[in-house]
Amino acid sequence: MKLQQLLSYTRKAVDEYQLIDEGDKIAVGISGGKDSLTMLCGLHGLMRFYPKKFTIEAITVDLGHPGFHTDKIAAFCEEMGVPYTVVHTQIAQIIFDERKETNPCSLCAKMRKGALNEEIKRLGCNKVAYAHHKDDIIETMLMSLLFEGRFYTFSPKTYLDRMDLTVIRPLMFADEWEVSAFSKKYGLPVEKSPCPADGYTKREYAKQLVRRLNSEHPGAREHMFAAILNSDIKGWQNRIKNPRMNGK
């Protein structure tokens, strides 16, 4: 995937789901993975020509895993002129060493989001961008069906009233393989996750299941995404098709 295609996906999401408003200050959560770094590039590129002016702030929550470094990410952000903040925590030690959690992902996500949101508010941002791509959205829907018995996935835009903060997902139309290709093509400073639970989760199970279904029934993956786009799941009904043609 080239930068032009990434910008096209990003603008499509922003326009069709009204993700960005004039004067927004958007926090970009940077995990160090290919997804968040690709999203940073997309928003940074969009910022230069989008009619609604906005700014971005990159933030990494360092969970405290040994071997996790942010030097290259910091240099990357500096090169782009994007302010970058690292929030140092001891979340890894609490979860793995002190509590010895056997299913650590839920608690880790909660604590990580808490640390991220606190920094977001300190920086005065009114929105935060999460790097969920098309595959993440489909996998979440499948996990909800299998493990919760409901047809659900997270929406393109969600307002958190307790935090007075809006979550947006501008990478939602990009396929994971395209994100991987973009990351390699442009040499993004990806920092591999040192988490011991990485790759052994329900999400990984759902990812492999989607691949199998699509292999056995070509097009199944796109059909699942189309079902989400056309669903009544909260937040997905607000789509404006061809917004620029409609004068939006």
Give the strand pairing for 157-160 and 165-168: antiparallel
Region for residue 113 given its phi and psi (left: phi exceeds 0; alpha: psi -120 to 50; beta: otherwise) = alpha
Residue 247 lies in a domain: no
CATH label of the domain that carries residue 62 = 3.40.50.620
Lookup result for tokens 């069709």: 16
Residue 245 lies in a domain: no
Residue 237 lies in a domain: no
Closest CA to 88 of 67, 62, 123: 62
CB 176 within 8 A of CB 133: yes
Residue 177 is part of which domain span?
Answer: 3-229
Radius of gyration of the chain (CA): 18
pLDDT in tens, the chain (248 residues): 899 999 999 999 999 999 999 999 999 999 999 999 999 999 999 999 999 999 999 999 988 888 888 999 999 999 999 999 999 998 888 888 787 777 777 788 889 889 999 999 999 999 999 999 999 999 999 999 999 999 999 999 999 998 899 999 999 999 999 999 999 999 999 988 777 766 557 888 899 999 999 999 999 999 999 999 999 999 998 888 766 655 44
Residue 174 lies in a domain: yes
Residue 218 lies in a domain: yes
Residue 120 lies in a domain: yes
Q: In what order do the strands lie in the sheet with 157-160?
A: 84-88, 55-62, 25-29, 127-129, 165-168, 157-160
Element (H, E) at 48: none
Q: What is the pLDDT of residue 248?
A: 46
Q: Which pairs with CB-CB distance under 8 Å and at least 24 residues apart come from 198-203?
A: 201/105, 202/143, 202/147, 203/139, 203/140, 203/143
Residue 239 lies in a domain: no
Q: Is 8 exposed, middle or buried (0-12, 13-18, 19+ CB in 10 A)?
A: middle
Q: What is the pLDDT of residue 197?
A: 65
Q: How many helices and strands in the chain, by DSSP H and E?
A: 9, 6
Q: Is 89 exposed, middle or buried (0-12, 13-18, 19+ CB in 10 A)?
A: middle
Closest CA to 186 of 82, 79, 85, 83: 79
CB 174 within 8 A of CB 134: yes
| Count of structural domains within the chain | 1
